[in-house]
């Protein structure tokens, strides 16, 4: 066990945990931030996606000892009130079905829009950025549409 300082959603948390603990479990079990979901544990499904310094990463596969070097943003910190353009587009287009994967989908989509500096990505860019996020309900067509909408564009 060691002391780590985690910068999460603009707040500093001091935790005394195993440095090999994946960030996912530190967020969920230690900090009680349960918006980040556990889906596979091996960076295959994207349900646990968070931002490290604005980049989308799978929190199940980043150790706390590494994550503590970056500013961490989780779905709870993406906006204080659900007003991120992706969140708004997701609700307006009724993207979620069961909703379980959607925090991860939105974190990946938000990072994509940061990378394109807000420009409307092509379908190919969306596919490349989002192929690490599985949705078993099959909301992919609406996810594509919502990303275009969040970028202020219409779907291609």
Partner 1 sequence: MSGIFKITRREFLRQTGVGAGALVLGYSMFPTEPLSAAGLPDLKDIVTYGFPLGAFVAIKPLSGHITIFTHRAEMGQGIKSSLAAVLADELEADWDRVTLHQADADAVNFGVPFPYPMPGAPAIVKGEDAQFTDSSRSMAAYFLAMRLFGAGIRLVMIRAAAAKWGVKATELEARQQKIYHKLTGRSIEYHHLLLEAKKVAEHPPETDEIKAVLKTPDQWRFIGKKTMPFVDARDMVTGKAVYGADVDVGRRDMLTAMIVRCPVANGTLKSFDKTAALAVPGVKFVEPVLPPGFPMTGGVGANFIPHAGVAVLAENTWAALQGRRVLKVEWDLGPNATYDSDAFRGELEASTSQPGKPVRWKGDVDGALGGAAKVVEAGYHIPHLAQAPMEPPVAIAHYENGQWEIWCPTQGPELAQHYVGLAMLEPEPLKWLIWLATELSELREGERETQQAFNESIAKLLNVDEPTLFKMRDDLKKRVRDKIKIHPTLLGGGFGRKSNPDYVMEAAFLARQHPGVPIRVQWTREDDIQFSFYNAASSQYLKAGLGADGRPAALLHRSALTSFFATIFPPPSPSASAVENDINAKARAAFHNGGEYLYGSCIERAQGLEDNPYAIDNLRIENSPAANHIRCGWMRSVANIYHAFGLCSFADEMAVAAGRDSKDYLLELIGQGRMFTEAVFKEEHVPAYDNNLFPINRTLVSIGGQEKEISPGYPPDTRRLRAVVERVAKDSGWDEKRGKLPKGRGLGIAAHRSFLSYVAIVVDVSLNEANELTINEIYAALDCGFVVNPDRVYAQMEGGIIYGLSYALLGEITVKNGAVVQNNFDNYPVLRIHQTPKKISTSFVVPSPEVVKDYPGGEVPLTGAGEPPTPAVAPALANAIVAAGGPRIREIPFYRKVVVR
Place of tokens 């994509």: 112
**What's the residue count for the chain?**
156
Is 121 a binding residue for partner 1 by CB under 8 A? The answer is no
Those residues whose C-beta lies under 8 Å from the C-beta of residue 25, and which sit 6 or more positions away, are none
Closest distance between partner 1 and the C-beta of residue 101, in Å?
A: 5
Which two structure tokens, joined as six digits, stand for 149? 């909408």
Is 49 a binding residue for partner 1 by CB under 8 A? The answer is no
- DSSP class of 81: S
Which two structure tokens, joined as six digits, stand for 51? 């931002």
Candidates 19, 38, 66, 116; binder of partner 1 (CB under 8 A) is 38
Stretch that binds partner 1, among 51-59, 65-73, 112-120, 129-137 (CB under 8 A): 129-137
Nearer to partner 1, 15 or 71 (CB): 15
Is 122 a binding residue for partner 1 by CB under 8 A? The answer is no
């Amino acid at each position: 066990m060691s002391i780590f300082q985690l910068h999460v959603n603009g707040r500093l948390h001091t935790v005394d945990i195993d440095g090999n603990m994946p960030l996912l479990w530190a967020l969920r079990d230690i900090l009680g931030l349960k918006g980040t979901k556990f889906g596979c544990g091996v960076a295959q499904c994207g349900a646990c996606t968070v931002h490290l310094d604005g980049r989308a990463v799978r929190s199940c596969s980043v150790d706390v000892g590494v994550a503590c070097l970056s500013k961490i943003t989780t779905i709870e910190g993406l906006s204080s009130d659900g007003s991120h353009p992706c969140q708004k587009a997701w609700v307006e287009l009724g993207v979620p079905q069961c909703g379980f994967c959607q925090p991860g989908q939105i974190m990946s989509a938000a990072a994509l829009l940061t990378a394109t500096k807000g420009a409307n990505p092509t379908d190919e860019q969306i596919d490349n950025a989002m192929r690490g996020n599985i949705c078993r309900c099959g909301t992919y067509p609406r996810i594509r549409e919502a990303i275009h909408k969040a970028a202020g564009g219409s779907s291609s």
